Copies of this chain bind each other. A is one copy, B any other.
Amino acid sequence: MIDRLAALFGAQRAAGVTLGIGDDAAVLRPPAGRDLVWTVDTQIEGQHFRRAWLTLEDLGWRSFVAAASDLAALGAEPWCALASLGLTDDLGVDGLDALSGGQAEAAAAVGCPIVGGNLSRAGELSVTTTLLGTVDRAVGRSGARPGDGVWIVGEVGLSAAGLRAIVQGAHGADVDAAIARFRRPAVRIDSGRVLGRSAHAAIDISDGVARDAGHVASASHAAIVLDEEALLTHGGDVLARAAAAVGEPPIDLVLGGGEDYALLCAASDPLRGFTRVGEVEVGAGVWLRDHDGKRRLVDGRGFDHFDRRR
């Protein structure tokens, strides 16, 4: 199995890797003068996915892109990856080929070769991906400033609509794009480069806009006000039709549905390819402003209900 993975993953070369798959560890020469960004993500059967929902190729792609999304959110350049697979007995060599094929495809799309890892037997299928990237200036969650715009790139809520469609057994033109997005989330590394140049704070949307914007608001000690109309316009017809087909208000999918791995950032000026969906204000929490200008709190972390200044 290790030989198969070495042949597959070894076809993609990463700069500075002097010892790769097959030894106790990978040996790497880091580029001089840059910081490293390091993340790990685990996808577990029954928790993050069911095999009825997607192919093993999709799982390989999806697990890799989910981990790479953290690098994009920091504005980092992908470098290389390790993958640790927990393989169930029923998977066999064909299953391993499918899973690792999807990983290799994503690694190529992200520009982040897999240079090592670990194989274990397991009772439930799991994929752990750890990635190293490099960066001049890492964008964190804590730098959003009152007056900043809030910007977004990529679909939000569409993957959640796709999952609901799969569970409901829905198909057809209204939900196909949503289902495809759940199975194969997009790689946003280029957008990460864009936000890396000017954003004050950023995050990837893995748990829904409300919750992830809430991380930025609370780390930045600021309020984020999101514009409902701007979010729905950003979602467009594709989201509206998928939401209708699965019977959920599109704004609920946007606020609560994750795993599109869109990027959200706070920045003072427009960013190429990003849509403005709100602004940063003095205060706390994440608020949704409707077309009448009325606001409701959609994420209350960092919000002190006894704050006398309010």
Of the candidates A71, A117, A118, the one having the most CB atoms from chain B within 10 angstroms of its own CB is A118
Q: Are A138 and B19 in contact (CB under 8 A)?
A: yes
- Size class of the A contact interface (CB-based, 8 Å): 35 or more
Digitize A87-129: 1 where CB-to-B-CB distance is under 8 Å, 0 elsewhere: 0000000000000000000000000000111101111101010
One of B23, B37, B116 near A40 (C-beta < 8 A): B116
Check if A44 is an interface residue, CB within 8 A of chain B.
Answer: yes
Bound together, the chains give a CA A302 to CA B19 distance in angstroms of 20
A128 neighbours in B (Cβ, 8 Å): 40, 42, 84, 128
Bound together, the chains give a CA A141 to CA B138 distance in angstroms of 36
Check if A296 is an interface residue, CB within 8 A of chain B.
Answer: no
A37 neighbours in B (Cβ, 8 Å): 25-28
A18 neighbours in B (Cβ, 8 Å): 35, 138
Q: In this complex, what residue of B is CB-closest to A137? A: B27
Check if A203 is an interface residue, CB within 8 A of chain B.
Answer: yes
Q: Are B42 and A35 in contact (CB under 8 A)?
A: no
Check if A36 is an interface residue, CB within 8 A of chain B.
Answer: yes
Q: Are B39 and A116 in contact (CB under 8 A)?
A: yes
- Shortest beta-carbon distance from A187 to chain B in Å: 16
Q: Are A26 and B38 in contact (CB under 8 A)?
A: yes
Bound together, the chains give a CA A164 to CA B214 distance in angstroms of 51
- Shortest beta-carbon distance from A270 to chain B in Å: 23
A83 neighbours in B (Cβ, 8 Å): 40
A24 neighbours in B (Cβ, 8 Å): 39, 70, 73-74, 141, 203-204
Using A24-B204, A25-B39 as known contacts, say yes or no to A47 and B124 having CB atoms under 8 A apart.
Answer: no
List CB contacts (< 8 Å) of A159-208 with chain B: 203-204
Q: Are B124 and A42 in contact (CB under 8 A)?
A: no
Check if A46 is an interface residue, CB within 8 A of chain B.
Answer: yes
A126 neighbours in B (Cβ, 8 Å): 42, 86, 122, 126
One of B23, B121, B132 near A140 (C-beta < 8 A): B23
- Shortest beta-carbon distance from A49 to chain B in Å: 12
Q: Are A123 and B123 in contact (CB under 8 A)?
A: yes
Q: Are A122 and B121 in contact (CB under 8 A)?
A: no
Bound together, the chains give a CA A215 to CA B23 distance in angstroms of 9
Q: In this complex, what residue of B is CB-closest to A26? A: B38
Q: List 13 A-B contacts (CB under 8 A).
A: A23-B141, A23-B219, A27-B74, A27-B135, A27-B138, A28-B38, A39-B82, A42-B126, A44-B121, A44-B123, A122-B124, A122-B126, A128-B128
